[in-house]
Amino acid sequence: MPLHLTKVAFGATGIENLAERLLVRAEAGPVFLTTRYLPKRHEEIAGQGSLFWIIKHQLIARSPILQFGEAEGGRIAIHIDPHLILTHARPKRAHQGWRYLEDADAPVDLGVDEVAGDVMPAALMGKLSGLGLI
């Protein structure tokens, strides 16, 4: 089973904003994020795992992780596919950097006939989750 990472989409106001930012970056070349350290479990992630994006305390989309590489200043580059895959929203607290996400805990992709608006709004889902109702 693949292993995934979660990361806050810092500064993104919504799914559309994040998707646009990634596609703009893709025009300039490969899209990657940098981190200080190579994840110890990187072999379980590269080529089979995804980076799940957190916006407003919800996991809402993912970008497949293509590979890990070197970046400037001795940092590590996490190369991702710039095209977002929307998922069913799942509550997730914000955190700094990235965190592991087991495949069994990862949200399911939205189906072909589903639209992000067809599911419970993220704000309502967050409040219900905070109350321990979902």
DSSP state for residue 77 in the 8-state scheme:
E
Residues 117-131, mean pLDDT to the nearest whole number: 63
Helix intervals (H) in the chain: 15-27, 122-130
User: If pLDDT is split at 50, 70 and 90, which confidence band does 134 have?
Assistant: low
Residue 129: pLDDT over 80: no
Q: CA of 113: how far to CAs of 61, 103, 109, 121, in Å?
A: 16, 23, 11, 18
pLDDT of residue 103: 94
**Buried b / exposed e across 42-53, counting CB within 10 Å, b at 16+?**
bebbbeebbbbb
Residues 66-76, mean pLDDT to the nearest whole number: 95
Q: Is 79 exposed, middle or buried (CB count within 10 Å of its CB: 0-12, 13-18, 19+)?
A: middle
